[in-house]
Chain A
Amino acid sequence: ELKVEQNPLFLSMQEGKNYTIYCNYSTTSDRLYWYRQDPGKSLESLFVLLSNGAVKQEGRLMASLDTKARLSTLHITAAVHDLSATYFCAVDDGGAQKLVFGQGTRLTINP
């Protein structure tokens, strides 16, 4: 059974700092997704990573995928308050026709 674990689960950081959120998964998969959720809102797609070594960047966020290590990272550069949200990674469990989500990382960025 595919399991997806994120860490940390809670992260409080100051504006201007850099940090990384980690997403580990337990069985082979070549597809990984990052989503953002604001309180009480829906999930917004951030990145789609479809192969080993894939790297995507959007503004202050950069995501990468290492399928051999079964690890994805979401790196935040020079954080700003607007990035405060909960971030989820999700892994394609193709055989079960679903995405398996991590627990989410609640990120709070303080001025």
Chain B
Amino acid sequence: EAQVTQNPRYLITVTGKKLTVTCSQNMNHEYMSWYRQDPGLGLRQIYYSMNVEVTDKGDVPEGYKVSRKEKRNFPLILESPSPNQTSLYFCASSLGLAGGSGELFFGEGSRLTVL
């Protein structure tokens, strides 16, 4: 089954404790992206990757890091989480905004709470 898989789905952590949210897709998509969803603010892009070893900042990259060492994986790293990073996070992938239809396929979401 074609899917985007995120882990963990739910996490409560404390300020400053490094964490990683993993994302993996099995559709051989070149493009991957992370969004956060907050009430009243909609979905905002954090980082994106157009291919292996190619990543770039989105609209709200502060406090986050990403890597793309393999095509299928695109982990989101919070080096020192703060309460304002409490949010619902979505990983998404597509064939690419230029080469394909640009349709994004979303993971199930990861709800993160930072105390």
Which A residues are closer than 8 A to B by beta carbons? 31, 33, 35, 40-45, 48, 50, 88, 90, 92, 94, 97-99, 101-104
Contacts and interface: CB of A to CB of B under 8 A. Distances in A.
Nearest to A102: B42
Task: Report the interface size class on chain B.
Answer: 20 to 34
B103 A101 contact: no
A87 to B, nearest CB: 12
A93 to B, nearest CB: 9
B2 to A, nearest CB: 12
14 contacts: A31-B97, A31-B101, A42-B109, A43-B106, A45-B104, A45-B105, A48-B102, A92-B102, A94-B97, A97-B31, A98-B33, A98-B48, A101-B35, A104-B42
Contacts of B56: 97
B26 to A, nearest CB: 16
A53 B94 CA distance: 24
Given A43-B90, A97-B56, A97-B97, A33 B42 contact: no
Given A31-B97, A103-B40, 15 more contacts: A33-B102, A33-B103, A33-B104, A35-B106, A41-B108, A43-B104, A48-B102, A88-B43, A92-B102, A94-B97, A97-B48, A97-B56, A97-B97, A98-B45, A101-B42
Nearest to A45: B103
B107 interface: yes
A5 B33 CA distance: 22
Contacts of A92: 97, 102
Given A42-B106, A42-B108, A42-B109, A94 B101 contact: no
Contacts of A35: 106
Contact of B42 (A31, A45, A50, A103): A103
Contacts of B66: none
